[in-house]
Structure 1
């Protein structure tokens, strides 16, 4: 028998040493640190953009005005009533879950099929570099009278502005100067539709005009198709369209929508 043979392995315990190796190691650490910093910064920026986009998308979806009803008021002198609607009263609320809406930034577009008026709130001085002439008055009724009767820069108030009055406002967020609507609030938007032939009438509802109303350029006579678009600062626009009755008869107040 052969004797058991022993196998010996040489151990090499030496490693790479020197300044060159150290430099390579430090460079690898620095590259890894820079890459990590870039990734962290990029992820932070993307997160912020995603949050902002999500917030804006939610606001666009949730901030919705809802027109509950529209009534028309005919001007009159004594018992003699105008043949056209002189004032529209829009009862407006917010959809469930809606974000607050600043009425000061709402644009109301109204057309009778011939003339289109783009209206802003009476206290908005950004679009035309001036508020509605006579605003702010003491209360909503006084501002409504200013809307119907007075003219200033940029022209007849009824062609450029609308006014509003709160019906229900539990938290007190709605004022004439700062009209902010929250969920549950209900307000009336007033839109002048005085026709040229009716400017001499003396009253519109409870407002005494003294026969000096301003021509809105609109003519809402019987069988007129009227389109309204309410566009808030954020959120979907609200559209309402209706056709006026074939005759107003002897009615001073006419329900037009729904």
Structure 2
């Protein structure tokens, strides 16, 4: 029979010691710490950029402004009415959840199919010279009169008035719309025929032409382009006859 064999495990109690091992260990810890710090910083920057991009994208694709109603007004002298629509009154509000809108930076494009104008707010001092006759401390009616009676104004500018402004933050000099605000935008569309008359609504004086001509059955396109957000478009055809109406409902 074979003799039983005994197996003994060799105990190795030796280990690396010394300054070299300590340096390697510290270096590994430092590398791991630096790598972790870089990853944390990079992820934070990416998160901030992603949030900013998401917010900007939401603003660009969302429509802040909403045209609720458009009414046309004909020029007159006594009971004699113009054959054209000579002023537009746009009732404009903000969509739910919209950020504030600075009307100073809203560009309105309007065309009657033949003539097109790009209009800015009459009190815009940030990008353009103010409209002739515009005064920030004037009433909306006074600035509307300046729009309708000063040559060149109707082809370059529009004016506004507030309908609802709970926090009293909207003014002629600082026309900033907040959620819940509702304003009237006045666009002069006075034709050469209308300019020969003496009044539009409650405004009287020497009317000036806008070069537009909104006769019956005219296709009108209006685009409101805010500083940020999608443009708002309103397109309508004027009625086949204005009859004896001074104020004509046009949109919706």
> TM-score, length-normalised on structure 1?
0.90
What are the within-5 Å matches in structure 2 for residues 43-122 of structure 1? 43-122=43-122
Q: Do residues 221 (structure 1) and 220 (structure 2) align?
A: no
1:190 to 186, 192, 211: 186
Residue in 2 that maps onto 1:160:
156
Cα offsets for 1:21-75 (capped at 9, x unmatched): 3333233222212211210111011111111122223333555211111111111
Q: 1 CA distance for matches of 2:83 and 2:243?
A: 9
Unaligned runs of 5+ in 2: none
1:134 corresponds to 2:130? no
- More displaced stretch, 42-51 vs 193-202: 193-202
TM value normalised by structure 2 = 0.92
Q: Whole-Å Cα distance in 1 between the matches of residues 113 and 75 of structure 2?
A: 21
Higher alpha-carbon deviation: 50-59 or 79-88: 50-59
Report how far residue 80 of structure 1 moved: 1.9
Q: Which of 231, 250, 257 matches 2:251?
A: 257
Secondary structure of 2:72 counterpart:
strand
**Residue number in structure 2 paired with 1:204:** 200
| 3-state DSSP of counterpart to 1:117 | strand
Match of 1:24 in 2: 24
How many residues get paired? Answer: 251
* Deviations, residues 76-125 of structure 1 (Å, cap 9, x unaligned): 12222211111000011122222222212111111100111111111212
Deviation at 1:17, TM superposition (A): 2.8
Question: Unaligned regions of 5+ residues in structure 1, if any?
Answer: none
**Partners in 1 of 2:191 and 2:127 — Cα distance?**
25
Cα distance in 2 between the residues matched to 1:126 and 1:216:
24
